Amino acid sequence: MKPEELRFVETHEWIAPDGTVGISDHAQHEITDVVFVELPKPGRVVKSGEAVAAVESVKAAFDIYAPVSGTIAAVNESVTKTPGLVNQSPYEAGWLFKVKADREEERNGLMTHETYQTFLKSETH
């Protein structure tokens, strides 16, 4: 997926038009080598901002928050087997889960790739 097609949240998750969720390239870089990913059970009802998954590196563990409210529709089993995919391919093979949004509009309110880049600059200064 092209980053330009994605929407982002301040906690560094991205969401695609089809509800696929992952973490941004910036986030995977900050986390460093991912060693373990814990994913939610499909069917779970989640609220936006709720911690639904966890990504661990050697030095840290991070909660992954749902960017929108909805139902977990699918999870990426290959990242649990090969956590390094999150680093190698954050926008493609390293996706985490799919969420079926309650309200399609919710996604549209999130940051575009361009706004996210500006946000990152403001965050580091």
Partner 1 sequence: MPIETPPPLEPLIFELSVAGRRGLPWPKPDIAEAENESPLPAALRRRTPPEWPEVAEPQVVRHFTRLSQLNFSVDTHFYPLGSCTMKHNPKAADRVVLLPDFIGLHPLRPHTLSQGILEILHDTERWLCAICGMDAFTLQPSAGAQGELTGVLIARTYHESRGQNRPVVLIPDSAHGTNPASVAVAGLTAVTIASTPDGHVDVDVLKSKLGPDVALVMLTIPNTLGLFEPRLREIAKMVHDAGALLYMDGANLNALVGLLRPGDLGVDLLHINLHKTFSTPHGGGGPGAGPVGVKAFLSEFLPTPRVVKEDGVYRRRMDFPKSIGKIHGFMGNVGIVLRAYCYLRLLGEEGIRHVSENAILAANYLRVKLAPLFPKMPKKPCMHEVVVSGEGAFGPGVHTLDVAKRLLDEGFHAPTIYFPLIVPEALMIEPTETETKETLDLFCKTLESIVEESRTSPEKVTSAPHRTPIRRVDEVKAAREPDLRFKRIP
Partner 2 sequence: MFVPHTEEQKKQMLDQIGVRRFDDLLADLPSDIRRPPLNLPPSLSEMEMVRHMESLAAKDHLALSFLGAGAYEHFIPSAVWSLALRGEFATAYTPYQAEASQGTLQSLYEFQSLICELFGMDVANASLYDGASAAAEACLLALRHTGKRRIVIPETVHPHTRQVIQTYLAHSPADIVTVPRREGTTDLGRLQAALGQETAAVLFQTPNFFGCLEESHEIARLAHAAGALLIASSYPTALGLISPPGEYGADIAVAEGQPLGLPLGYGGPYLGLFACKTELMRKMPGRVVGRSVDRDGRRAFVLTLQAREQHIRREKATSNICSNQSLCALAAAIYMSLVGKSGLKELALLNLQKARYASKRLAEKGFPTAFPQPFFNEFAVKCPKPPELIAERLAKDKVLAGLALGRYFPELKDHLLVCVTEIKTRQDIDCFADLLERACR
Q: Which residues bind partner 2 (CB under 8 A)?
A: 35-36, 38, 56-61, 63
Query: Which residues, 6 or more positions from 68, have their beta carbon under 8 angstroms from its beta carbon?
Result: 15, 19, 48, 99, 101, 102, 103, 106, 107, 110
Q: Report the residue number, 45 or 60, with the smaller CB distance to partner 2.
A: 60
Q: Residue 27 or 79: which CB sits closer to partner 1? A: 79
Distance of closest approach, residue 81 Cβ to partner 1, in angstroms: 10
Site string for partner 1, 89-118 (x = CB under 8 A): ------------------------------
